[in-house]
Chains A and B, each alone.
Chain A
Amino acid sequence: MEFRIKKEDLFKGLQKAQGIVAAKGAMPILANILLEAREGEIAISATDLDMGMEGQYPAQVAIPGRLTINARKIFDIVRELPDEEISVKSSENDWLNLSCGRSKFKIAGIPPEEFPKLPSFEDSAFSMKLERDVLRDLIRKTIYASSNDTTRRNLNGTLLELEEKEIRMVGTDGHRLAFASYATQEPIAEPGKTQSVILPKKALGEILKFLEDGEGPITFYLGENHASFRKEKFRLVSRLVDDQFPLYRQVIPTENQHKAVADRDSFLHALKRVSIMSDESSRLVRFEFGQGLLRLMAQNADIGEAVEEIEIEYSEQDIPIGLNATYILDVLNNMPSEKVDILLKDTRSSCLISPMGDDSYKCIVMPMRLN
């Protein structure tokens, strides 16, 4: 293998691989990327067996070939190189020789045969074109609510549902839930046939990065066990979580009749201030909804206490409710509108927050019982 490539192009591919390779584990090869030189381009692949990527970058290839190399090491090297052409050449016993200007590196590789093949299922899979920002918004609006606990596999990811003319995503950690939907112009599935899959949280993080970098629609593929996202010469593939997502519709409240409207920014900042004094483990803040006024209160036996009132539109019965401030701050940080609707039932029932007048995005937070 021998090729020459612009630093910028090589760097771009290596950077994308960093979030995917398995840092340490039973299989050293998973800490490596696969470099493949073909005619006029090189391909960089990385995988941790749960997800993988493959990107193609223009290069002047003299001798085609393949080799795997430690992802972190080659990334660190290339990052520090000047913006010049880099020449890469493999030598006997899986060595990779890399030179740029007056720098020369010789890096030990692992034979490419050991590198796991990325699943290729797209030819027979369901596919659709998606606007980047549609998918990006859906993920951003829901990923925060999904669980970080990797042992609760069904919650450590978000649900993706495709219906006739709607795409939905749902994330939940069991205490709170975020539901976002998007109505498509064109039908995307047969009527009455809903496709539901769970995308793992780690993959969603990488998908977000991919969506934020670049423009134009992407193609989404959905197979039996995998989903992939493709844009021209770049492909991200993830295994689907093989588990049942909780029956989320049951917990989206329909009887929350008491509605308050608050200014998102003033609510967010008041809550940020008050939450400083909340108990560090529970993050409990007491919300008292009253006529035209929301009072936020927190106390911490060791530190002190805080009270703040903000004006809201509310003309119904007084409702006190204890909520984890972090959960509500997460919701408010993801609200796209200036004003938010807060729908309540009582002290013991969940609280529903949506952008004002928009029920395509619903955030549900269970309260804390004040004993």
Chain B
Amino acid sequence: MHRKIIHMDMDAFYASVEQLDKPSLGKKPVIVGGITGRGVVCAASYEARKFGVRSAMPMKIAREKCPHGVYLEPRMGRYKEISNMIMEILQEYTDLIEPLSLDEAYLDVTENKKGLPYASIVAREAKKKIRQETGLTASAGAGPSKFIAKLASDHDKPDGIVVVPPEKVWSFISGMEVGKIPGVGLATESRLREMGIFKIKDLAEYPVEKLHDRLGKHGLFLSGLARGVDERPVYSHREIKSIGEETTFDRDLLLKEEIVPILSDLAGEVERRLIKNGKKGRTVTLKVKTGDFRNSTRSRTLPDPVFQRSELLSIVNGLIPKTSIGRERVRLVGITVSNFFKPAAYEQLRLFD
């Protein structure tokens, strides 16, 4: 039997919450993001999107495109509150919910609490209920896998509902650009193009071995998606794989002495979140973006997991000489801890401490 997966995606979530809370905004373009210094757009209302404003766009560019827009700082507490309301609504239908962020989630409704026969009915009911209780609109996509559900929810935004039954999967995806596939970013897309792969159809027909040669494991995964193969389950308790913090400076920094205190703050924040989540990790990664937007990461994997700020900072200090810090203008730095220690069935005891 085919699974019935729904991808529920709130429309311009942060911006919509602001419009909802501040009726005076009316139909003005609303842009939520880092207002000071060099922030980026977190969310743009549909009115703002008409001017070409997009998520993740530097704020400066957004202001050029949409000078008369209303620019607001995000209020994460409020978004979290509404997100919880939405997740509660979704829980009336199934416990198999995998939130991807505050504003989107996968639901496995193959068997649902209300005994509804079709995913389309679940999607319609849930959307309606979200609208009634929060005043916000969502776009829903339903299909036999996460991949199809995600493409479907994206197909008719905002306030859309698209259902792709198993027999329609091929006609739904085959003509789409490969860039539509979640996980195919600009870099992968351009590599695929070089290989003559433009549409999902081209990807599905491309020899798997060759894809593997070019793109490795990721190529195999993408090839499967293109042929409609996506067995990924909906994880109701999504496991955190890494915890990281990064910051973009108000201006590019050249001196190591200026950057180290910032790294120290970031390490403190990472420590706080590691403790909160009860995690320790063996891999520490230092990310550096230079003034000309080149990203690089340097990591170290340790024999024993770490979480303390001082430990993180001493590892990061060891990584600094391998980066552009102190040699080039740096725009952004970040620290991430991953490779979390898993409490195994055994634990090697230590001699000292």
Contact = CB atoms under 8 A, between A and B. Distances in A.
Question: Is chain B a partner of chain A in the same complex?
Answer: yes
B352 A369 contact: no
Given A149-B303, A151-B318, A366 B351 contact: yes
Interface stretch (B74-82, B121-129, B211-219, B338-346): B338-346
B351 A371 contact: no
A178 B349 CA distance: 16
Given A149-B303, A151-B318, A367 B345 contact: no
A87 to B, nearest CB: 44
B346 A174 contact: no
A174 B351 contact: yes
A interface SS class: loop
Interface in B313-353: 318, 343-352
B347 A371 contact: yes
B347 A364 contact: no
A282 B347 CA distance: 9
A324 B318 contact: no
B352 A368 contact: no
B352 A174 contact: yes
Given A149-B303, A151-B318, A282 B349 contact: no
A175 B350 contact: yes
Nearest to B351: A251
Interface centre among A149, A151, A348, A370 (most CB of B within 10 A): A151
Contact of A366 (B302, B303, B344, B349): B349
A175 B351 contact: yes
Interface in A137-180: 147, 149, 151, 172, 174-177
Interface in B74-92: none
A176 B345 CA distance: 20
A350 B351 CA distance: 8
Nearest to A367: B349
A371 B350 contact: no
Contacts of B348: 175, 282, 324, 366, 368
A244 to B, nearest CB: 11
Nearest to A251: B351
A87 B277 CA distance: 69
Contacts of B344: 282, 371
B349 A371 contact: no
B300 to A, nearest CB: 8
A175 B352 CA distance: 8
Contacts, number: 49
Interface in B288-319: 302-303, 318
B351 A176 contact: yes
B318 A366 contact: no
Nearest to A148: B303
A348 B349 contact: yes
A51 interface: no
B351 A369 contact: no
A350 B348 CA distance: 11
A353 to B, nearest CB: 14
B282 to A, nearest CB: 12
Contact of A368 (B302, B318, B347, B351): B347
Interface string A339-358: 00000000010100000000
B346 A246 contact: no
Contacts of A200: none
A246 B352 contact: yes
Contact of B351 (A324, A348, A364): A364
A369 B344 CA distance: 10
A183 to B, nearest CB: 25
B349 to A, nearest CB: 4
Contact of B343 (A176, A247, A371): A371
B343 A366 contact: no
Nearest to B346: A368
Interface string A273-313: 00000000010100000000000000000000000000000
B346 A177 contact: no
A322 interface: yes
Nearest to A246: B352
A247 B351 CA distance: 10
Contacts of A370: 345-346
Contacts of B343: 371
Contacts of A147: 303
Given A149-B303, A151-B318, A177 B347 contact: no
Given A149-B303, A151-B318, A322 B352 contact: no
Nearest to A175: B348
19 contacts: A149-B302, A151-B318, A175-B348, A175-B350, A175-B351, A246-B351, A251-B352, A282-B344, A282-B346, A284-B346, A324-B348, A348-B349, A350-B349, A350-B351, A366-B348, A366-B350, A366-B351, A368-B349, A369-B346
The 7 closest A-B pairs by CB, nearest first: A368-B346, A366-B349, A369-B347, A251-B351, A246-B352, A368-B348, A284-B346
Interface of B: 302-303, 318, 343-352
Given A369-B347, A371-B346, 11 more contacts: A149-B302, A151-B318, A172-B351, A175-B349, A175-B350, A175-B351, A251-B351, A324-B348, A348-B349, A366-B349, A369-B349
